Amino acid sequence: MVVEDSGVLADPARLAAVDRALRVMAALPVPLAGIAQVAARLSDAPMGVITLVGVEQEHLAGSYGTPAALVADGCIPEAYSVCKYVVSGDAPVACENMRTDPEKQLREHPLTREYGIRAFLGIPLRDATGRPVGSLTVLDTRARPWTDAHRSALTELAVLVDQVPATVPEIGTALLAELDTMEVLDSLAEAFLTLSPAGVITGWNAAARDMFGFTVAEACGQPVAELFDAHYNGRPVPDVLGALLAGDGETITGTAVLRHRDGRAVHARVRMSTLHGPGGSAVVCVFLTDITDQVDAAETARAAAAKADNAVDAQRGFAEALLDSLGEGVIAVNEEGRAVVFNRALRALHAIPAELPLDAAHAVALTQLHRPDGEPMGPDTRVLEKAQQGGTTRESETLIRVPGHPDRHVVASAQPIRTSDGRRIGAVTTVQDVTDRRRAERFRDCQLAVAKILNQPRSLTDLAQDVLRLVGQTLSWPYLSLRLSEPATDTLYRIAQWHPEDYDLDEILPARMPRDADTIPTQVWATGEPIWEPDLASSHWITDPDSRDRAHVFAERGLRSVLSVPVRDGEDVLGVLTCFADTVEHDEFLLTGLLGDVAAQIAQFLIRRHAEELAAELSRARADFTALIGHDMRTPLTTIGTYIQFLLEDPGPRPDTERQLLEGIDRNSQALRELVEGLLDLTALECDDQPLATHHVDLCALITDATAAALPAATATGIRLHTTLPHQVHVNGDRDRLRQLIDKLLTTTITGNPGGGDVHLILDRATDTARLTITDPGGLDLPDEAFERFSQANTTGTGNTTSGLGFVLSRAIAERHGGTLTVTKTAQTITTTVHLPLP
């Protein structure tokens, strides 16, 4: 069974490990595309991939033979992922035919529907601490088996990838000459590649892929001059590499005009240095910064730099080091505290338009900074101001609160910027968005709390309010409702809702909705699929006047987003869970995962309660049936028996045939009375209506008395009883019930063996139980279902109306005493074994 565990995929520690692995693999000349190719060939498969699995997409580290459209941007969307199943289970996952697999998510997977992929085999990749970060996977367009040899080969290859170092290797201090501090270098996301001495690309990171459009598989192994049509400062690349390699670690900086995959020119600032290894081997490390949009401005800045003073030089250094292409938010200020860099990523976090000037953007951002508890931050707590005073801060958690937008949780790191002589000339702060991780942590806590609530012995109507309140407070969403389907009226009715007073939506979402109502909950009910609307104001759901009126009411209440998920039992939709937010939301994966898990827990609660109700109804039906037997059958049977006795005792002459008929009626009515009494006795045992009178009972004496009482009947049928008993064996039990158990077993054995034979009763001690074994010649052939309470075998399977019921009663008595009764059948014998606990 394949498993997609949103908790595992969104685990913050695992995502941090994925981030580290991305940086390491991007910066090392490791032939991961070659490993993917070897994996495919060893498995006789046309495709192989090495991926690192994030929350919303897989990062492609190496691939072979995969469709270009699938891996065009170096990532695979989460919907097309099979590697997520490998990471979720942290174990190999194989599928031989996705189109016929029992799992619906595999049968309807986009990979098989859009790309014809039928089979796959994935092996987990782990970091140095053992966390699953990705997978080595081979894929095939034909249905096929995967052998142990295939799994072993891929596991060995995965070990090679697992052995990638946990940190990026040192490249030498020469490479840092143009950067202010190591902390600034750590905050950059520049394009990075490595070259062999012949100019062949051997390493390629994600930023290089984004910059030039070539994936790792397409770039590695290609001559850099041919791939880019590259010239460096007007010189051929091989000439530059020769001079660089001869310089023994010299760093070369300059600019280059390169070619993008689509043919357009890319202007880049280049830094090249060599990394020498043992035996004379060497690798050329190249850092590239895209300056295409800034080339004219850069020319002007360089012309002005020659005439500017030291302050202007420092400002130019900031502007060049912290470009708008960085993935993390970055702000830098000069020594007066004025912003000189405020990049696009930081503007996006603060929802600040690009046209707003730097000083104004900085002022707005300061008003949006809050501590994790929601308190606004002052100058004494903001990390950038601390860095201006010379302090260094690492990963300080901060809350960015923008009206009309969800809160963003970030970690900020800051340090001062100094000149080569140590003079402090400003400060820089890098900001990383960790909202998804923090939400994932809260969601996991919420899921556990929901499970605890639903484990209480109360009805869903009583518990649903607490569940909705908990989910609403976790999401900070103002309106949630839970509705269940009612098949009798074909309506969806609300059993609970949670909202502040001013968010009541009864006028547009009434307590009961017919199936044909045009609302989001009824659409989810009809389709069984979730509905996610991140922004109701621009939703495609608004198609008619009624929906526009509803959208207007939503807007008046301040509601902006909606997520509605089904509560399912297989293909049946039992209900709908709907949530509204007062902000525009974009975390579809996390939110749908959380609400889907909560809906699944509610569904399991409903299924469990339904099963309990059915069990209670069955118990009531059995009790009613037993009452029918006890009160409505016993009295007429007694009357019939009495009348038959009167007729049989009549001294008058009576034909033989008439007497035989009366004796048959008497015999069968007596058997029926015994069956009724046995069923009533069994019910009393099962329902604990008659408590046991527990005393010390000597089983040896009890068996001796029972055998003596059964001897006449046994002798009449040719049965020879043999007993093997120790001196004494005492148990705690009800003497009358234990005697009844032995009598029932002896009666069943005697009546079931009309041909006679030897019956052995052996009593001994077995560990902590007293063991009674009865072996008879096997004339009684009870079917397996003879132990069922109302099975046909109890009355017709043996020709004796009480044989099967005798076994059922005996087992019930043994179990009331904490023991067991088992029957073993062979062709020659039937062995009945009773275990009773010793004191």
pLDDT reported for residue 781: 52
Please report the pLDDT score of residue 85 as a whole number: 92
Check whether 208 has a pLDDT greater than 80.
yes
Those residues whose C-beta lies under 8 Å from the C-beta of residue 520, and which sit 6 or more positions away, are 531, 533, 541, 562, 564, 578
- Burial of residue 447 (number of CB atoms within 10 Å: 0-12, 13-18, 19+): buried
Helix, strand, coil % over all residues of the chain, rounded to 5: 45, 25, 30
Tokens read off for 619: 């118990």
Residue 804: predicted pLDDT: 57
In this prediction, residue 772 has a pLDDT band, given cuts at 50, 70 and 90, of very high
Say how far apart CA 175 and CA 476 lie, in whole Å. Answer: 47
Residue 227 is which amino acid?
L
Which residue would you say has higher pLDDT here, 103 or 624?
103
20-43 confidence digits (pLDDT tens) = 777 666 545 456 777 888 889 888
User: Measured between alpha carbons, how far is residue 64 from residues 67, 86, 220, 610 in Å?
Assistant: 9, 19, 12, 51
E-strand ranges in 627-743 read 694-698, 719-724, 730-734
What's residue 325's pLDDT?
A: 59
Q: The CATH number of 173-292 is which of 3.30.450.20, 3.40.50.150, 3.30.70.20, 3.40.50.1000? A: 3.30.450.20
What are the pLDDT digits (tens) for 165-195? 444 443 333 333 333 333 333 334 578 788 8
What are 610-662's pLDDT values in tens digits?
888 888 787 777 767 776 666 677 778 788 888 888 888 887 777 888 888 88
Dist CA 96 CA 118 (whole Å): 7
Question: Mean pLDDT across the stretch 235-248?
Answer: 67
Give ∠ CA 429-435-440 in degrees, rounded to 5.
Answer: 145
What tokens were used for 237? 């690349």
**Tens digits of per-residue pLDDT, 308-361?**
444 444 444 444 444 455 668 888 899 888 888 888 888 888 989 988 888 888
Domain assignments of the chain as residue spans, ordered by start? 6-162, 173-292, 302-433, 438-609, 627-685, 691-837
Give yes or no on whether 302-433 and 691-837 have one common fold.
no
Tokens, residue 184? 């600034």
Per CATH, which fold does 691-837 belong to? Heat Shock Protein 90 (3.30.565)
pLDDT band for position 149 (cuts 50, 70, 90): confident
pLDDT of 573 above 60 = yes
Could you give the CA distance from residue 206 to residue 224 in angstroms, rounded to a whole number? 17
Chosen CATH of 438-609 out of 2.40.50.140, 3.30.450.40, 3.40.50.970, 3.30.230.10: 3.30.450.40
Q: Are 388 and 333 spatial neighbours (Cβ–Cβ below 8 Å)? A: yes
Rounded to whole angstroms, the Cα distance separating 406 from 167 reads 34
CATH classification number, 6-162, choose in 3.30.450.40, 3.40.50.1100, 3.90.470.10, 3.90.230.10: 3.30.450.40
Q: What is the mean pLDDT of residues 92-110?
A: 91
Q: Output the pLDDT for position 283.
A: 75
| Nearest CA-CA partner of 371 in 382, 357, 360 | 382
Q: For residue 783, what pLDDT band results from cuts at 50, 70 and 90?
A: low
Does the pTM exceed 0.75?
no
CATH number of this structure's domain 302-433:
3.30.450.20
